[in-house]
Amino acid sequence: MQQLIEAVLHHADEQAVLQQLIQTLSRSNQRYFLKNEIIHAFADYCHEARKPAHFFHSSHLGTLIQYSHELLLEEDCIWLLLRPWIGGQQIWCLDSELTKAQVMPPKALLEARDRFVGRAQDQLFEIDVTPFYEHTPKVDDPRNIGQGLAFLNRYLSSQVLNDRSYWLETLFDVLHRHHYDGIPLLINDQIESGEQLAEQIRQAIQILKSKASDESYQSVHAELQPLGFEPGWGNTVERVRGMMELVDQMVNMPQPAILEAFVARFPSVFRVALCSIHGWVGQDYLGRSETLGQVAYVLDQARSLDRKLQEEIHLAGLDMLNIQPQVVILTRLIPNCEGTQCDLPLEKVDDTNNTWILRVPFREFNSKITDNWISKFEIWGYLETFAIDAQSRLLEQLNGKPDLIIGNYSDGNLVASLIARQLNVTHCNIAHSLEKPKHLFSNLYWQELEPQYHFSAQFTADLISMNAADFIVTSSYQEIVGSPDTFGQYESYKCFTMPQLYHVINGIELFSPKFNRIPPGVDERVFFPYSEARSSEHRDRLTYLLFEQEASHILGKLADPSLTPILAISPLTAVKNLSGLVECFGRSPELQQRCNLILVTSKLSVDAAINADEAEEIEKIHRLIDYYQLHEHVRWIGERLSNPDLGEMYRSIADRRGIFVHFARFEAFGRVLLEAMVSGLPSFATEFGGTTEIIEDDKHGFLINPTDLDGSTRKILDFLDRAYADPNYWEQLSAKSIQRIHDEYNWQHHTRQLLLLTKLYSFWNYVHRESRESLLHYLDALFHLLYKPRAESILEEHQKI
């Protein structure tokens, strides 16, 4: 970057252009500019000055502008936040005359940001996790971020090769300590060292070679037990011998694939807890609109874990010990549950062997609050005591400690980290949709936003839980570090200020192997291709709802129901941008001539809105429908539908060769997109966020820019033209969409990887327990010094209600 900046400053023409650009920006009465604003201002200047195209794209200044993500103007200096590569940031300060440039530490930029909002303060608390990651291995290539499992396999294999004796003893120690409720698994006290383990493994393999492959483990247990071996190696001679050969190969010829195969068979996960606290967690009522996706995710994940754990225990030969896996979804009990089952302390999850929803009430600080649903922005004061109460209930329900505890969203992750810390169990962090990057400048203006959002507590909780986690699961690469043009959600926590509260010098190590991209799947019992057999009664009912039924919760009567349907299903939030899709449709007479727009939300009345943001989006959609006179072209269904009905809705649209449009301004992942695609609907999705990893443009679907209404319209019309010209085109794209989801986004793969990560990171943290313990002590301090005072202030407010 230094050479690039010097080239700009020492080139008279480029320096003059930069000076004029800065002057233009300063005249706008704005001093803080983000990437899009910087690029647009530069593009406008190049157009007005009639600069050639190569100057915008290829000059030194053009390149510098492309790397610039933030620009802050002060009287005597110009601050640039540059991002020369994904996951990397550099801070530069240029003097006002553009003669000198100096790279600056993060603290300097944070202080400048504080000055910008008029809240500069000396001696502010600083958060920096850098020292705790210095002695741990890091991913060296940004392209490999999110592949922590593969990285650790390679790293550990190389360590075994470099110091065989140490790692053999470590492996022995892990196996020797391994048990289930006091029952030894894999080895017993007959084996007393790593070298003896290696020797006994070789002897056992020779014995097993003389046995029939399909013989049960029970038939050879009497011969193997005197050698030091207990159940857990496999349920048949073939599987036992296979796992022992993996150990033998791992010790003598370590390779990543061998290590991964061994870890995958290692029977160490029997009890799992999933924490999802603030939503309405139930089977018949999947959360409120803001948490519907999260609750559906947790239930699907729990069901998949239930099936996979049953399978693993059987294949490990542990049926003879009568070991039964258990999965518990831990959430809060809501006394005023509005007709749902969220007031039941315990509920069995359908279609599972041993999976339960365990509901624990919040302590009654003020019954007017704690008896009712509490928004995710107001929940922070109750989580510490909830974690204490829930821990005892969880241990009672599981009849022991969980082997894995999974947090979901910010509140679930904080509770998971508190319980994991007390019980010393493996903690997986899953967030998917962090609030900080969704609200522009939310950290800078946290004091103004505090009464409504309480971001000071939430952002602090995020920092604690994401660093406390043994590993982090994301749905997409962009969730971690974004793209060349955008910051990732986790990346937004790396360096930021909360003026007059604290500075985050380094809040997360993005190159840590704890990050793992493992996308979820869909419930394929409910969401499946339109071409598969299904109930005609169900299909007819949903078709009637979509196109003909008249009711108070349905707006619009289609003049021509035979037109190509465009389906959009979404919560009513500004980010999901249904109003933008309505405007896009309303501005295009050609779209109205060829298509009908079908909107599906949980409500359509402003009176039913649960917050001001939702009410504003509902009102905006109504206003646009009236303005563009769309009542005969739009059907708006405001009804909470069950998952089976949603699945049939997608298929009913596919029956009519329709399309699905996801018009969000930003989408971290896009679960609804998976559902539409696996149903066979050609899909158009926002190009901003993780959807770009699901859809390869013009192959599995189409990416659109929701800020470019004309461009989005053209893309939809182009598809309709191609489908009209080639009767097979719609079917071909539909088939590719279905295959894409079946191949890459399924719960079987997700759960297999999740359990593999649990086993590997448990072993990894056992090896590096000393360095990890120092990090956890540091996070304890942040919890008590920063988080608790913010949470307690929320409780004080609630006591006054």
Give the model confidence (pLDDT) of 602-645 as tens digits: 889 898 887 888 899 999 999 999 999 999 999 999 988 888 89
- The DSSP bridge pattern shows strands 326-333 and 271-275 to be parallel
Domain 271-521+750-799 classification at class level: alpha beta
- The DSSP bridge pattern shows strands 595-601 and 564-569 to be parallel
DSSP-assigned beta bridge partners for residue 595? 564
* pLDDT in the model for residue 296: 85
**Intrachain domains 2-104 and 271-521+750-799 with the same fold:** no
Whether 545 shows a pLDDT value over 90: the answer reads: yes
Q: What is the pLDDT of residues 736-761, one digit of tens each?
A: 999 999 988 999 999 999 999 999 99
How would you class 671 by CB atoms within 10 Å of its CB: exposed for 0-12, middle for 13-18, buried for 19 or more?
buried
Whether 290 shows a pLDDT value over 90: the answer reads: no
CB 362 within 8 A of CB 386: yes
Quote the tokens at residue 156: 């550990």
Angle between helices 383-398 and 409-423 (to 10 degrees): 60
Whether 294 shows a pLDDT value over 90: the answer reads: no
H helical segments located in 225-291: 237-252, 256-265
Whether 767 shows a pLDDT value over 80: the answer reads: no
Q: pLDDT band for 547, please (50, 70, 90 cuts).
A: very high
Collapsing DSSP to helix, strand or coil, 570 comes out as coil
* pLDDT in the model for residue 166: 83
Q: What is the pLDDT of residues 524-537, one digit of tens each?
A: 888 999 999 898 99
Whether 770 shows a pLDDT value over 70: the answer reads: no
Q: What is the pLDDT of residues 689-700, one digit of tens each?
A: 888 889 999 898
How far apart are alpha carbons 637 and 552 in whole angstroms? Answer: 9
Q: pLDDT band for 411, please (50, 70, 90 cuts).
A: very high
- pTM for the full model? 0.90
How far apart are alpha carbons 236 and 219 in whole angstroms? Answer: 9
Distances (CA, A) of 289 to 85, 274, 285, 441, 640: 37, 20, 11, 25, 9
* pLDDT in the model for residue 753: 94
Average pLDDT over residues 429-439: 88
Q: pLDDT band for 285, please (50, 70, 90 cuts).
A: low
Q: pLDDT band for 54, please (50, 70, 90 cuts).
A: confident
How far apart are alpha carbons 318 and 330 in whole angstroms? Answer: 27
Whether 165 shows a pLDDT value over 90: the answer reads: no
Whether 485 shows a pLDDT value over 90: the answer reads: no
CATH architecture of 2-104: Roll (3.10)
Average pLDDT over residues 248-270: 89
Collapsing DSSP to helix, strand or coil, 99 comes out as coil
Q: pLDDT band for 556, please (50, 70, 90 cuts).
A: very high
Whether 251 shows a pLDDT value over 80: the answer reads: yes
The DSSP annotation for 412-448 comes to HHHHHHHHHHHHT-EEEEE-SS-HHHHSTTTTTTHHH
CB 602 within 8 A of CB 570: no
Q: pLDDT band for 422, please (50, 70, 90 cuts).
A: very high
E-strand ranges in 531-621 read 554-555, 564-569, 595-601
How far apart are alpha carbons 440 and 116 in whole angstroms? Answer: 15
* pLDDT in the model for residue 666: 83
Question: SS3 helix, strand, coil % of the chain, rounded to 5?
Answer: 50, 15, 35
Q: What is the pLDDT of residues 708-738, one digit of tens each?
A: 999 999 999 999 999 999 989 999 999 999 9
Determine what percent of the chain is predicted with pLDDT higher than 70: 99
Whether 151 shows a pLDDT value over 70: the answer reads: yes
* pLDDT in the model for residue 641: 86
Average pLDDT over residues 129-141: 91
Kindly list the domain boundaries of the chain, sorted by start residue. 2-104, 164-177+187-229+233-253, 271-521+750-799, 536-745
Average pLDDT over residues 247-252: 88
* pLDDT in the model for residue 168: 87
Quote the tokens at residue 775: 């990090």
CATH architecture of 164-177+187-229+233-253: Up-down Bundle (1.20)
- The DSSP bridge pattern shows strands 68-73 and 32-34 to be antiparallel
* pLDDT in the model for residue 769: 65
Could you tell me which CATH number the domain at 536-745 has?
A: 3.40.50.2000
* pLDDT in the model for residue 289: 66
Rounded to a whole number, what is the largest CA-CA distance in the chain? 88
